[in-house]
Structures are given as C-alpha cells and as structure tokens.
C-alpha cells in the first residue's frame, strides 16, 4: 500500500477523534457552566430581573424623552435620572404620609403588650372553645417570644443588609441597562449567524412591545384598585386607609398572591376595630374582583398581553419557587417573553389543534 493510500485511510479516523474530543470538551464546558450558574444563581437572577425591569420601563423612558421644557429635551441619561427621582419622590411621599400613624400605633401596642396580653388570654380562657387552654404556658411562650424578638432582629441584620444591597444593586443595574443596554443587546445578537440574527431581533422587538403594553395595562389596573380602595377604606373608617389603599394597588402587580397578601392585611387591620368593617372589606373586594376579572382585565390586558390564565398561574408558581417575591413580580413579563419565542420558533400555526377539531376529528 502506498503512503498516499495509507494517509487517506487515516484521515477519517483522525476526523472522528477530533470530533469526539470536541464533544467531550463541549460536555465538560456545559457541566462547568451549569455548576457556576447554580452557585451564582442569586447574582444571575439579580441581573436578569434588572434587565427585565429595564425592558419593561423603556416605554416610560421614551415618553420622558419626548417631553420638552422650553427648548430643552431630556436625553437618555437625564430621562433615567428624572424617572428614578420621580419614583423615589413618590415612595418618600407615601412613607411620609402613611407611615407615621402606623409607627405611632405600633409603638403604643408594643408598650402596652405586657399588660394587654394577660387580659386577652384571660378573656380567651372564659370562652368555651379555649377552656382547656393552658393560659400560663401560652403566656410564658409569648413572653419568651417578646424577649427573644430583639435577639432575632439582631441576628437578622445581616440578611436585611444583604437585601438592601440587592435592591440598590438592582437599581444601579437597571439604570445601566437602560443607558447602555442597546450595546449589550447587539453584542449578544452578534454571536448568532447573520441569517438567524434578523429573525431573533424582530421576535425580541415584538416581545418588548408586548411587555410594554403589559406595564401600561398593569399600571392602569393598579391605579383603579388603589383609588377605589382608598375611597372605600376611608368611607368605612378603616385605620391607615391611605396606606392600605396604596398597598392594595401596588401588590396588584403580583397576580393572585399580591391580592391575597394585601386583602389579608386589610382584614387584619379592620378586625382590630369591628367585624362590621371586615364584612365591608370582603364585600368590596368580592365585587371588585368580579368587575376586574369579567370587565377590566379582558379589555385592558387580554388584547395586549394575550396570555391564558393557566399560563399566568404556571409562570407565577415557577417564578415564586425560583426567586420568591421577586420571581413572582417578573413572572408575567417573563411568560410574555417565553410565549413570543415559542410562537416564533416552536409553534406551527398550521398544526394547532383547536377544541373544535378535537371534538370533530376527520
């Protein structure tokens, strides 16, 4: 056999070994990337949430940039500054108006708790349901809890400090994504082949529009619930009507869970004064929930977001499991992004089976 023939026989074997080695190295690279992603999941979630907030807030930023004061129009940096200053001013005004009465009543409650708790337990002991309750043991446990509360707060300062740091880091990252996000976005697009790049860019632009519409619709729903809650709570003479109404509107950004948390808080505050106010809150929210689900949401959100209720619930469940409250907060815009990508790359309209097709097979 000649040398040329021998070399021709060896070339397929060498090519197979080269591909085999490349596959092994790629598998190791994926494993290392997954390992690092797992250990850096908190930081990766923070980056993702910041980027998503930047995308969702871009329509607001565009609106600010279109404003004109005399001959001056804000640029991107000035618009970002105006946006964050406005959010900070609104939060400061809320805390200044709503928190002083809450802090005052909470301080009075903590001062009076050592004398009121035994009286409350004594009254509970006279009720038939609690006659077999060991009041002394329960009182001792409550006193131990009160004495250990300061220790718990002291040890939780580190966790609170980390939470505050995450919030500040998220604000800074969001501002930088809004300022220089286009450069990072087109840099990531450049990693894809040219024939795929344009289609992906169009798909992501469509997702950005839908997420902006979600923000507009969700903001309108939050405003409606907040204003009506303040009016109703003030009419019922519920404590902290302004603060609770604002919280009702803000918590409405989290589907299902936000409403449960805010309504439970309002019921707890209303129960301090009278059961009649509790009934009034339940009636109000029951009527509002029906109006929102049957009238407001279909007209405000359905046409813009176009997500099924089941998809929203699944996204909420997965988001809260992965990242708690923050994950629940970004679950809907994430579901919008995933839905747009699936519709573009996975769903084939000609093969979709409708309920009518299932009931009437060919």
- 79-133 tens-digit pLDDT: 889 989 998 888 888 777 777 776 776 676 666 656 665 665 565 556 555 555 5
Q: 347 is written with which tokens? A: 């769903």
Q: Are residues 139 and 117 in contact, defined by beta-carbon separation less than 8 angstroms? A: yes
**Which position has the higher pLDDT, 268 or 351?**
268
- Name residues whose C-beta falls within 8 Å of residue 228's C-beta, 6 or more positions apart in sequence: 288
Looking at residue 117, what is its pLDDT? Answer: 58
Residue 350 has pLDDT above 70, yes or no: no
Residue 22 has pLDDT above 60, yes or no: yes
Burial of residue 18 (number of CB atoms within 10 Å: 0-12, 13-18, 19+): exposed
Residue 262 has pLDDT above 70, yes or no: yes
Residue 52 has pLDDT above 50, yes or no: yes
3-state secondary structure (DSSP) of residue 118: helix
- Name residues whose C-beta falls within 8 Å of residue 353's C-beta, 6 or more positions apart in sequence: none
**Which position has the higher pLDDT, 100 or 73?**
73
3-state secondary structure (DSSP) of residue 75: coil
Cβ neighbours of 102 (radius 10 Å) = 15
Q: How far is 229 from 249, CA to CA, in rounded Å?
A: 8
The DSSP call for residue 298 is I
Position 231 confidence tier, pLDDT thresholds 50, 70, 90: very high
Residue whose C-alpha is closest to residue 178's, from 11, 58, 83: 58
Looking at residue 6, what is its pLDDT? Answer: 45
Looking at residue 120, what is its pLDDT? Answer: 58
**What's this model's pTM, rounded to 2 decimal places?**
0.67
**Which position has the higher pLDDT, 306 or 205?**
205
């Amino acid at each position: 056999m000649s040398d040329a023939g021998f070399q021709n026989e060896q070339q397929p074997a060498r090519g197979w070994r080269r591909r085999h080695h490349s596959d092994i190295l790629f598998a190791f690279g994926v494993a290392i990337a997954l390992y690092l992603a797992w250990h850096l999941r908190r930081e990766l979630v923070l980056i993702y949430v910041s980027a998503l907030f930047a995308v969702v807030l871009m329509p607001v930023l565009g609106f600010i940039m279109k404003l004109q004061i005399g001959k001056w129009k804000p640029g991107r940096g000035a618009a970002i500054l105006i946006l964050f200053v406005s959010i900070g001013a609104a939060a400061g005004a809320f805390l200044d108006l709503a928190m002083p009465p809450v802090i005052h009543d909470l301080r009075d409650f903590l001062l009076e708790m050592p004398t009121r708790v035994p009286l409350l337990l004594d009254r509970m002991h006279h009720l038939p349901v609690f006659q077999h309750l060991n009041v002394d043991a329960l009182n001792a446990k409550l006193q131990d809890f009160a004495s250990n509360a300061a220790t718990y707060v002291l040890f939780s300062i580190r966790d609170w400090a980390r939470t505050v740091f995450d919030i500040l880091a998220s604000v800074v990252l969001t501002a930088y994504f809004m300022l220089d996000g286009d450069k990072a976005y087109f840099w990531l697009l450049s990693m894809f082949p040219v024939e795929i790049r344009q289609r992906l860019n169009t798909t992501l632009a469509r997702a950005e529009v839908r997420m902006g519409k979600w923000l507009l619709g969700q903001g309108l729903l939050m405003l409606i619930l907040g204003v009506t809650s303040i009016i109703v709570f003030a009419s019922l003479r519920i404590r902290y009507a302004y603060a609770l109404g604002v919280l009702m509107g803000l918590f409405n950004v989290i589907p299902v869970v936000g409403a449960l948390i805010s309504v439970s808080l309002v019921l707890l505050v209303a129960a301090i004064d009278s059961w009649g106010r509790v009934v009034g809150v339940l009636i109000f929210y029951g009527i509002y929930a029906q109006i929102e689900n049957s009238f407001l949401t279909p007209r405000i959100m359905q046409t813009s977001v176009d997500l099924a209720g089941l998809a929203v619930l699944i996204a909420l469940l997965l988001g809260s499991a992965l990242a708690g409250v923050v994950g629940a907060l970004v679950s809907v815009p994430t579901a919008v992004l995933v839905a747009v990508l699936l519709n573009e790359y996975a769903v084939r309209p000609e093969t979709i089976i409708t309920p009518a097709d299932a009931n009437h097979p060919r």
